[in-house]
Structure 1
Amino acid sequence: MSRKLKNKPLPYFALVGFLILTFITGGGSRADIQSLVILRPAAIIMCALALLTLKLEHIKAYRYLFVIATIIFLLVGSHLVPLPPSIWRALPSGELVSKVYELAGIGEVWRPLSMVPSTTLNAFYSLFVPLAVLLLGSQISAEESFSLLPFILIFGLLSAFVGLLQIMGAPDGSLYFYRITNNGSAVGLFSNRNHQAILLAMLFPMLAVYASAGGRRELNKTKFRNGIMISAGAVLIPLLLVTGSRAGLVLGTFGLMAAFLFYSKSVSNRSEIRKVGKWRIFGIVVGFGTLSLGAITALMSRGEALQRLFATDQTEDLRFKIWPIIVETSWKYFPTGSGIGSFVEVYQIDEPYNLLARSYVNHAHNDWLEVFMTAGLPGLLILLFCIVAFAIATYRAFVASKKDSSSIQYMRLGAIMVFMLALGSIGDYPLRTPSLSCLFVIASIWMIKRDESGKKRVDADKGLV
């Protein structure tokens, strides 16, 4: 074990181990996934262990994140608190529930706000996975949090490699790890192709920051990281084409632009430009080669995302038809909402006959709308608070700060990743997947984290470390 690893605190190793477990077992959002039997108890244990070492200074450093986490837990928990009949009957859902109870012969009972308490309870348990990452991640230093990037890149590229093997094999092959999935698409370690595409899109700016972190005095390391960035980027673009995700193409384009911004910012003087110039030229050549490979992939009818993007029956996409219905249903249960996690059952109450099919609508495929429907006004206020906090942190990362350091790069990377996940939530539900929810927390920590490496170096010179 190297000296760097020996100096890492216990929360760091616990966090890395938990992230590994999450990426292996947390690629789906369904409540009946068997791997959750392992992941969720492990998350609760990690939360308990993290609380033993959590200090007030950790909470103060990430007070916005802890406030948001506390409010979310209180909101979901409040939907499970039994209420007397005089209160729940006065709720927007009270009339419907009363009729059901009357027909079923159920008398005066206490019941919670949620119309489907079992799914709300599942949503409550799901929160412990990202909470464990927050409790552990808040206890490590800035440099230690930055060192998580290679681990995330490894799992992202592993998911990409699995996706490549999936499209080369049978659509119902053993490399699809979830019973309900997008067979025939490159879903990787996920069950949903959109979630795989969002991860691949976020890898572009992550690779750019990783390649830029070699340092001015470490030219060999910089060349090595540039080689990884170029090689990985050459593979990721065609893989985005075969995921079959239209949102992934849009986010992938955004991710590529963000990667160029990050990598350009890392070159700050002429000598560095000369050092990296050859890699830039090589990158341009590889870029054209990658575009050619993507065109070939599309011509070979494997570019499913392009086919779906320019399909003539795009207007038949179900999600655009259900969104107006969801908005109407949201106002029906406003301001309390129908209950966190209750979307499936509550939507079926108002689902029009012309949209009935053999399959059911599992989510709104727009998490912003689903929060409006299930959480009501409190959910909207939480979203507003998150948007304001994100805007402040992004301003500090991109505008207010003048210092050129690795900390600023990671703050900006975190802001970009959070923004990409927010965009992805317009057409899907990425944050309901455990692995992506944990990645969201890591990105939020990066967005807030300040650079501590300079202080550590000074202390080391003084013999204090």
Structure 2
Amino acid sequence: MVAAIIFGGSTSSGFLGDVVVQLCSIVVLVALIWVSSRTRNLHSSTPIFVVAGSLTLLAALQLFPVLGNPAFHNLVGPDSRLSASALPRTLTLTRSETWSSIASWLPPLAMFAAVAQLPQKDRVQLCWLTLALCGVCALLGLVQVAQGPDSELRFFTITNPTEAVGFFANRNHFAAQLCVALALSVVWFAVALQSTVRDGAINAQGSIGLVAVVVFIAGVMGALAVARSRAGVGLALLAVLGILVVYLREGASVWGG
């Protein structure tokens, strides 16, 4: 996940960062299969690998030389107006783009399969790690805007030069990441609220966490504002609505004892 956030921010294929992320995902997938087989947990992971393998095979079938094969031409029939040489040899018309799509499928597949194997406690820890990484990205975005279009912290030549982009090349991708941070901060806010207000009394020690999550949300909202992404703002409004719903529900249960 760390490699995907730091190196996987390009908007087109062919960058070195994409290759790094894809190689990391292959290592993760191989490690998952090996660990599952050693711990005899492969049976429980079978549905995940079957679905993932089927989707990968479906994409890979587009690369096989089927249409231009003489056997296919004979199957079509001698009266066909298309000759074998006129037909494309594969189902896909752009082999390189198909290869790129298969390679781009590996990182989310590895992430999904890895998280699916984690117990609930480790998944919660992963959420905290995600929040920390999103906080770093939000701070980076604010610094990028403060330094202007010539900021050395903009890691891509083709990018949005006047908006915050974080580790990404496109502001919309950065805004989507911030929306994930806002959604996860709902959990943080609920936990901090429960720690602060217990039995109708204010816990001074727990209030530190509540202040921290409020500052975090404010920083993420600030980074989202300077990203100037309309789609991101729309998703952020939904995330804020979720935060308010959690606040009202948790607040009522806490104060009600």
TM-score range, shorter chain: 0.7 to 0.9
- Distance, in Å, in 1 between the alignment partners of 2:209 and 2:74 is 62
- Deviation, 1:129, is 0.9
* Distance of 1:191 and 1:213 partners within structure 2: 34
In 1, the alpha carbon distance for the partners of 2:15 and 2:75 equals 36
Which of 22, 36, 42 is residue 56 of structure 1 equivalent to? 42
- What is the Cα deviation at residue 177 of structure 1? 0.9
Letter in structure 2 aligned against 1:130: P
Partner of 2:222: 238
Q: Is the 8 A contact 1:177 1:191 kept in 2?
A: yes
Give the residue type in structure 2 aligned to 1:33.
F
Which letter maps to 1:235? G
Change (3 A) 1:228 1:37: same
After TM superposition, list the pairs within 5 Å mapping 1:36-75 onto structure 2: 36-54=18-36, 55-59=41-45, 63=47, 66=49, 68-75=51-58
- TM-aligned CA deviation for residue 110 of structure 1: 7.0
Deviations 1:339-362 (A, max 9, x none): xxxxxxxxxxxxxxxxxxxxxxxx
Q: Which residue of 2 aligns with 1:157?
A: 135
> Residues 88 and 244 (structure 1 numbering): CA distance in 2 closer, same or farther, change over 3 Å?
farther
Deviations 1:271-324 (A, max 9, x none): x3389xxxxxxxxxxxxxxxxxxxxxxxxxxxxxxxxxxxxxxxxxxxxxxxxx
Task: Tell me, yes or no, if structure 1 residue 183 matches structure 2 residue 169.
Answer: no
Query: What is the TM-score of this pair, normalised by structure 2?
Result: 0.81
Counterpart pick for 1:130 among 108, 113, 117: 108
C-alpha distance 251-216 of structure 1, shift in aligned 2 (>3 A): closer
- Of 186, 191, 201, the match for 1:213: 191
Relative distance call for 1:167 and 1:274 in structure 2 (3 A) is farther
Gaps in structure 2 of 5+ consecutive residues: 197-202
Percentage of matched positions with identical amino acids: 23
> How far did residue 221 of structure 1 move?
6.6
Distance 2:11 2:244 in 1: 32
Output one character per residue of 1:66-102: Cα deviation in whole Å (capped at 9) or x when no partner. 55533421221121122142648999xxx9xx7xxx9
Structure 1 residue aligned with 2:255: 273
Q: Tell me which residue corresponds to 2:199.
A: none
The Cα offsets for residues 154-181 of structure 1, whole Å up to 9 and x where unpaired, read as 1111111111011111313211111221
The answer as to whether partners of 1:58 and 1:138 remain within 8 angstroms in 2 is no
Provide the aligned C-alpha RMSD in A.
3.1
C-alpha deviations, 1:392-429, integer Å up to 9, x for none?
xxxxxxxxxxxxxxxxxxxxxxxxxxxxxxxxxxxxxx
Aligned residues: 241
Shift of 1:262: 2.6
Partner of 1:261: 245
Measure the CA separation in 1 of the matches of 2:193 and 2:219.
25
**How far did 1:215 drift?**
8.4
Distance 1:88 1:260 in 2: 63
- 1:116 paired to 2:65: no
1:244 counterpart letter in structure 2: R
**Contact 1:58 / 1:139 at 8 angstroms: preserved in 2?**
no
Partners of 2:17 and 2:74 in 1: CA distance? 38
Unaligned runs of 5+ in 1: 1-18, 276-465
> Could you tell me whether the CA contact under 8 Å between 1:211 and 1:222 is conserved in 2?
no
Instruction: Please say which of residues 27-36 and 157-166 is displaced more in the overlay.
Output: 27-36
Name the SS of the counterpart of 1:148 in structure 2.
Answer: helix
Deviation string, structure 1 residues 30-63 (Cα, Å, up to 9, x no partner): 1022212322112111111111012235426xx4
